[in-house]
Amino acid sequence: MDFSINVTYLSLEGHVQLEKYRYFYFLISLIVYILIICCNAVIISVIYRNKPLHEPMYIFIAALLCNSLFGTTAFYPKLLTDFLSETQIISHGACLFQAFCIYTYVATEFTLLSAMAYDRYVSICKPLQYATLIKMSTVKKILFFCWFVPSCEIGISIILTYQQLCKFKLNRIYCNNYSVAKLNCGDITAMSTYGLIALGVNVFLPVIFIIYSYVRILEVCLKNSKDFRRKALQTCLPHLIIFTSFSVTACFEVINTRLEGNVPHVFAMIMSVENLVIPPLINPIIYGLKLQEIFNRIKKMICK
């Protein structure tokens, strides 16, 4: 039975399943977090310090990696602290702030991936118009849109969620906006409806746009030479790998959040953190190894 009490702190019950090996999980999480910071920082530094890399494609890559650092910073410090604590609690306000940061990271990731798909589409399908369509002023506007619009949309969702709580147990290891909303005393219909609209705008529309862009790129590649297809694949493959990995796990998290309790707890927990662990870790590795220009700059930096 729910009692209308003013709950100010939430208990992250997802840690109960991890209690037995929490120091092992702490060590693994710490190593992964350090690797994420180092790998992303190296690629960002290489792009920033080398003027030949100050081109739209590389600027979008640097923005994507900065977004990875933003998302993981909202997740790992609290996670590491909880692994070393006897109790895993978080204030209502801090919980919603963490949810805001993580949701903004996910929405911005999809928006940036859409911008990168558009950049590749213009580069391959309309090469003669590239300098006109993808100017530096346009890139700045796109980047502003990629961060500002998702943060505003997510901010409204968080405001709609901020109500008096009747429950305090959150069956997760980090704060999820919809899961927190279900702890509210009041009606969450408005928040849930708005959340579905924001989901469509921030996830499904970018996915459709990216798929459409690559269908057009594929059509152009099939009409050109093998050398053209090889060069196109070299620049598009890293983006496709990252887009596929991020989309699958993000869509699973959406489905699992809405149908909470119908998926085995351990599997659901692993999948819920995958887009906060795998993409930020593999993004710099994939771009560092697959894009020859970045790889060569890294080698020169190491040699120095």
**Lowest-confidence region among 60-69, 75-84, 124-133, 242-251:** 242-251
Is the model's pLDDT at 234 over the cut of 70?
Answer: yes
2 part of a folded domain: no
* Tens-place pLDDT, residues 253-304: 777 776 665 666 666 677 777 778 888 888 888 887 767 778 777 777 777 6
| DSSP 3-state of 162 | coil
81 part of a folded domain: yes
Nearest to 64 by CA among 125, 106, 102: 106
Helices (H), ranges, the chain = 22-49, 56-83, 92-125, 130-133, 136-161, 177-181, 189-199, 205-222, 226-258, 265-290, 292-303
pLDDT at site 2: 44
Nearest to 43 by CA among 68, 62, 63: 62
265 part of a folded domain: yes
* Tens-place pLDDT, residues 89-139: 888 889 999 999 999 999 999 999 999 999 999 988 888 898 888 999 999
* R_g of the chain computed on alpha carbons: 21
3 part of a folded domain: no
191 part of a folded domain: yes
pLDDT at site 25: 87
* Tens-place pLDDT, residues 22-48: 888 899 999 999 999 999 998 999 899
CATH number for the domain including 269?
1.20.1070.10
91 part of a folded domain: yes
* Tens-place pLDDT, residues 188-225: 888 888 888 888 888 889 999 999 999 998 888 888 88
Count the domains in the chain.
Answer: 1
Residue 22, domain extent: 9-159+167-303
| Angle at the Cα of 161 from the Cα atoms of 156 and 165, rounded to 5 degrees | 160
pLDDT at site 6: 62
Q: Give the strand order in the sheet containing 169-170.
A: 89-91, 9-12, 169-170
CB 149 within 8 A of CB 201: no
pLDDT at site 3: 44
CA 301 → CA 19, 52, 58, 80, distances in Å?
42, 15, 17, 32
4 part of a folded domain: no
pLDDT at site 167: 80
| DSSP 3-state of 165 | strand
* Tens-place pLDDT, residues 167-185: 878 888 888 888 888 888 8
